[in-house]
Amino acid sequence: MSGDDHAVEVGLDALLAARGMTLTQLSELVGVSVVNLSVLKNGRARAIRFSTLTRLCEVLDCQPGDLLRVRREGR
Amino acid sequence: MSITTTFDMELPLTATPLRRAARNPLRPLDVTLDVLVKVMTSFLVLSSLTMVFGSGTLLGFGERTICVRDDSPSFDSGADHLPSLFKPGVVASQSGLSLCVNDPSFGQRALNVATQLPSFVLYFAAILMLWRLVRHAAQAGPFHPGNVRRLQVLGWWLAVGGVVAKTAEEAARTSLIDGMYRTADLDPLGWFGFQFSLVLTGLGLLAVARILRMGVEMREDLEGTV
């Protein structure tokens, strides 16, 4: 696996659906632009700041493990 | 708490001042280089016109008398050669001759141009490249791959050009001088020359380009950071 490849999956769609929230609403509450949240949701982000992760978990009332998952090969 | 203006408008004391629109820090340099390029191009065009339609000269073109300095001959001082202007113990010597030819041949004219044209092309093209680099950086931002590429091209142009242009001019100058003596004494090894300052500048720009490339990669990483 090269430096840019990763197997992290972001479960933001499921959490938003469960909380009945739109991406725009989440953007306003978290303070991150809709564009960046879209990048995160679509798996195109290369990294996430701890501060962003903290705000997301506070707003969505979740833990990092609920938001991020590492895909295992063969599963 | 508030203050009243002469127009009877109440302004809160803590009113936020108007924010200036963000200015591009590269804009002054972009404008300066733009003016410089236009001035140089205008000078070239005007000089060419005076050369074609008048008696002007440009980079050796149009010169009716060609002069070149030969630094190889030297003459030591002595009581016979130079006036005794100097204190005892001081030895003066004259080095070099200025050689001029009226109504030069076509070959001599070509060599005369070749003693000036390479450096001009080198510097003019370098300024154009710098202008393009700054313009691109002003529009696309500093940490763009295109800036790295342009900086590398400019660096190689100066580093290699500093050797090639100087060597070409030295070869032309030596050939021109040899053509003015009854017996030629061509020494091709003596043609090699380089402008150390240009070569050093070119190498410096290549180093900066490498550092800038690292910045571009870091920016690309940051762009994907949420």
The model's pLDDT over A1-18, given as tens digits with 9 standing for 90+, comes to 445 678 999 999 999 999
Read off the tokens for B222.
């940051």
Does residue B11 carry a pLDDT above 80? no
Q: Which tens digits make up the pLDDT trace of B47-66?
A: 888 888 877 788 888 788 88
More confidently predicted of B184 and B192: B192
Q: Which of B221, B224, B226 sits opposite A52 (nearest CB)?
A: B226
CB atoms within 10 A of CB B163: 17
Structural domain count of chain B: 1
**A9-14: Cβ within 8 A, 24+ apart:** A9/A43, A9/A68, A9/A69, A9/A70, A9/A71, A10/A40, A10/A41, A10/A43, A10/A45, A10/A67, A10/A68, A11/A66, A11/A67, A11/A68, A11/A69, A12/A37, A12/A40, A12/A41, A12/A56, A12/A67, A13/A41
Write down the pLDDT at residue B82.
55
Contact A52 B221 (CB under 8 A): no
Q: What is the pLDDT of residue B194?
A: 80
Mean predicted confidence (pLDDT) in B140-153:
95
Q: pLDDT averaged over chain B?
A: 83
CB contact under 8 A, A52 and B224: no
Q: Model confidence at A65, in pLDDT bands (50, 70, 90)? A: very high
Strand partners of residue B100: B67
Contact B226 A32 (CB under 8 A): yes
In angstroms, what separates the C-alpha of A26 from chain B's closest C-alpha?
Answer: 14
The yes-or-no verdict on residue A36 having pLDDT over 70 is: yes
Band of the pLDDT at A50, cuts 50, 70, 90?
very high
- Find the mean pLDDT for residues B144-163: 96
Task: Specify the pTM.
Answer: 0.71
In a domain, B64, yes or no: no
pLDDT of B5:
42
Residue type, B223: E
Residue B62 confidence (pLDDT): 78
Bigger pLDDT: B35 or B88? B35
Chain A environment of B224 (Cβ under 8 Å): 39, 44-47
Verify whether the Cβ–Cβ distance B226 to A44 is below 8 Å. Answer: no
Rounded to an integer, the average pLDDT of A64-68 is 95
Structural Rg of chain B based on CA atoms:
28
Domain containing B165 equals: 104-226
Q: Which residues of B touch A47 (CB under 8 A)?
A: 221, 224-226
The pLDDT assigned to B193 comes to 79
Q: What is the mean pLDDT of residues B124-151?
A: 95
Q: Is the pLDDT of residue B2 over 80?
A: no
**Residue B226 sits at the chain A interface (C-beta within 8 Å):** yes
Neighboring chain B residues of A48 at a CB cutoff of 8 Å: 225-226
Evaluate whether ipTM surpasses 0.95: no
Residue B224 at interface with chain A, using a CB cutoff of 8 Å: yes
pLDDT score at B10: 44
Q: Lowest-confidence range among B5-9, B124-128, B192-196?
A: B5-9
CATH code of A8-70, in short, is 1.10.260.40
Per-residue pLDDT, averaged over B195-216, amounts to 95
Residue B6 is predicted with a pLDDT of 46
More confident residue, B73 or B169: B169
